[in-house]
Structure 1
Amino acid sequence: MKHLATFRIVDAIARTGSIRAAAEMVAQTPSAVQRRLQGYEEELGYEIFERSSRGVRLNAAGELVIQHVRAMLADDARLKSRIADLSGVRRGHVAVGCSQALSPYFLPAQIAEYLEAFPSVTFDVSVLEHGEAARALESYAVDLALVFDGEGAPDFEVLLTAPQRLTAVMAADHPLAAQPEVRLRDCCAFPLALPVRGFGGRRMVDRALYGKTFARAPSLESNSFEYLKAHVAATRAVTFQIGIGAPRAQEAAGLAARRIDERDVPPGALFLGQKPGRTLPVAASRFAEQLTGALSRRYALDAV
């Protein structure tokens, strides 16, 4: 297993861009990390990092090496996960990349349910938009992606697609909260608190408002939906979120969520996916199955 220890060091250096930071990540001294890297490069016959006063970065050979390294580390994790399953004790680690809309309600509930059954599994959750998620899957930084895109299918293997309607979020005593469904024109009669550009929900709103005479500039923008919720709870402003990220009745805490009429904003899609062609470790594979089941029940879907 000596080569795996070397691979973990090479991966840490590539991720941090620093010998010293990589040493802290793998709990070794910088000199030990440097010796291990030099030994691997001598064995390989090529240098894989460009050195500079600002740190190190992969060169062309290194880009090839790091894909092999991460594939081998992923295979090792999958093997250990399968062996643990043979003993009847599920172990392993699951790394998930998700859109911000999944982080307040849906994903925490799903992870809690999984850990209730398999407490020895560990999780890592990164908030990523769809482009970042595809790159994270490709580099083995995450095992699964659960991301929203209002424009089209992402560049990874899609396990499930769930439609997502845009939802207006406002204070519970807001005038619009009395309606079962709202029009975009009515929302624009109030101050708008919007996610910053780049978020999928914001793109849906911008497209829907483009050229409309009733469109208005946002009074507030933020990259945090938690802040946007707090703002609209304390004001007459309205914000927007996709359905799975909008607070439901039991989660509202002074908020109300109402769907936007589909005539104003067509639905986007939530994608669950993985790196194309990759066989996931058991823990990640079983969690993907749980997510597929939960989303299918919620939206009456069949897996793609």
Structure 2
Amino acid sequence: MKHLRTLQLISDVAKRGSIRGTAEHLNITASALTRKVQDFEEELGTPIFERLPQGMRLNAAGELLVRHIRDQNANFERLKSQIADLSGVRRGHVAIACSQAFVDSVLPDEIADYRSRFSQVSFSVQVRDHSLGIAALANFEADLALLVNPPPTNDMHVLFAADQPFLALMRADHPLAASETVRLRECLEFPVAMPDHSLAIRHMLDVAYARVRAPGNIMIESGSLEFLRNYVLREQAITFQILPGIPVSDPRFSARPIDTRDIPPIKIFLGQLKSRTLSVAAAKFADQLVTSLSRD
């Protein structure tokens, strides 16, 4: 515990790349923070930062140290949660990285349900799609990741996986809204509000576009699913999303499955960092999430 505060300061400097930025954020003087870093380096026996004109950057020793700090912080949070659990009270913090599709209803509903029973548990939710969600696990920035079609990785231990159909989302009065399923070629006859390449679903859409060899009618591109949903309310356009991200109770929208001959289902995954032991709070929330996702 002796170096806990100093380690937290070093971690923040590494994150911000600046002594001054960390000092301002934590309301301490830059000179005092510089002295703490220098004292730690002297005790460690090696520098941990490269001093650059534009700020501070970790060297190889610093990278190892920050990895150790994140590991120790995660272990300490787990310890606090386990100690609190001895008295029957769930405490702690759960950090989640998730794709955009889960921020409208899935995670707000699940977190509210969990906190109705364990109000001492706090949460942080980072919107990190695709490979960024995996990186959040690997960097100990997230305990759990709920992602759409993440890239293959050895870093993630999968807790749950399921298929989700691709849906064409449109205004309720759209000409295709009366169809039970739609073909991709039919969708492309209308203006398309397309998810951009920052989103996992875009790759599958590009593959499907190439397969049907239809001219693209992409009029709008965005990395925000919320923007795309709102845009199709203003024009007879179509966008593509998956069910967890669609406000099914909103009568203004109509969502129709795309024929699987055109686009196969996409995978969703809930995972944690392989070999990492979750805190009690995170493990219990993961169990709840798996149960809920399995019912959907």
> TM tier, shorter chain?
over 0.9
The SS at the match of 1:234 is: coil
Structure 2 unpaired stretches of 5+: none
Match of 2:266 among 263, 268, 291: 268
Distance 1:188 1:35 in 2: 62
Structure 2 matches for 1:175-194, cutoff 5 A? 175-194=175-194
Tell me what 1:43 maps to.
43
For residue 181 of structure 1, give the secondary structure of its aligned residue in structure 2.
coil
Cα distance in 1, alignment partners of residues 198 and 286 from structure 2: 26
Alignment of 1:134 onto 2:122: no
- TM-score between both structures, scaled by the size of structure 1: 0.92
Q: 1:294 to 1:154 in 2, by over 3 A?
A: farther
Identity %: 48
Q: What residue number does 2:12 align with?
A: 12
1:302 maps to what in 2? none
Q: Is the 8 A contact 2:212 2:262 kept in 1?
A: no
The answer as to whether partners of 1:98 and 1:147 remain within 8 angstroms in 2 is yes
Q: Counterpart amino acid of 1:121? A: V
* Structural mapping, 1:26-105, within 5 Å: 26-105=26-105
Q: Structure 2 counterpart of 1:76, which letter?
A: F
Q: Which residue does 1:173 correspond to in 2?
A: 173
**What displacement does 1:29 show?**
2.9
Q: What is aligned with 1:288?
A: 286
Contact 1:138–1:275 (8 Å) recurs in 2: yes
User: Equivalent residue for 2:215?
Assistant: 215
CA distance in structure 2 between the partners assigned to 1:19 and 1:220 by the alignment: 41
Paired residues, number: 296
Letter in 1 for 2:287: E
Q: How far 1:112 sits from its partner (Å)? A: 1.2
Match runs of 1:183-262 below 5 Å: 183-248=183-248, 250=249, 252-262=250-260
Q: Deviations over 1:19-47 (max 9, x none)?
A: 12223444433233222211211111011
Spell out, residue by residue over 1:236-287, the C-alpha distance to the aligned partner (whole angstroms, 9 max, x if none). Answer: 0000002221222x2x241111111111101121111111100111111111
Corresponding residue for residue 121 of structure 1: 121
Preserved CA contact (<8 Å) 1:150 1:267: no
CA, structure 1 residues 24+96, in 2 after alignment: closer, same or farther (shift >3 Å)? farther
DSSP 3-state at the match of 2:101: helix
Structure 2-normalised TM-score? 0.95
Equivalent residue letter for 1:257:
A
The SS at the match of 1:190 is coil
1:34 partner SS: helix
Q: Distance in 1 between matches of 2:151 and 2:166?
A: 13
Shift of 1:197: 1.5
- Describe the shift of the 1:81–1:25 C-alpha distance in structure 2 as closer, same or farther (beyond 3 A): farther
Letter in 1 for 2:183: R
- How many angstroms does 1:184 deviate by? 0.9
SS in 1 for 2:161: strand
- Whether the aligned pair in 1 keeps the contact of 2:198 and 2:223 (CA below 8 Å) is no
For residue 220 of structure 1, report the CA deviation from its aligned partner.
0.7
Residue pair 1:131, 1:154 contacting (<8 A) in 2 also: no
Residue 141 of structure 1 aligns to a residue in which SS?
Answer: coil
**1:16, 1:268 → 2: CA distance?**
36
Query: What RMSD over aligned residues (CA atoms) do the two structures have, in Å?
Result: 1.6
| SS of the residue 1:72 aligns to | helix
Q: Which amino acid aligns with 1:129?
A: D
Deviations 1:75-126 (A, max 9, x none): 1111111111122222211111101111112111111111111122111111
Aligned partners of 1:147, 1:215: CA distance in 2, in Å?
A: 30
Separation in 2, partners of 1:147, 1:284: 17
Structure 2 letter corresponding to 1:59: N
Q: Structure 1 residues 136 and 294, CA, compared in 2 at 3 Å: closer, same or farther?
A: same
**1:18 partner amino acid:** S
Alpha-carbon distance between aligned partners in 2 of 1:188 and 1:104, rounded to the nearest angstrom: 27
CA distance in 2: counterparts of 1:30 and 1:217, whole angstroms: 54
Amino acid at match of 1:143: D
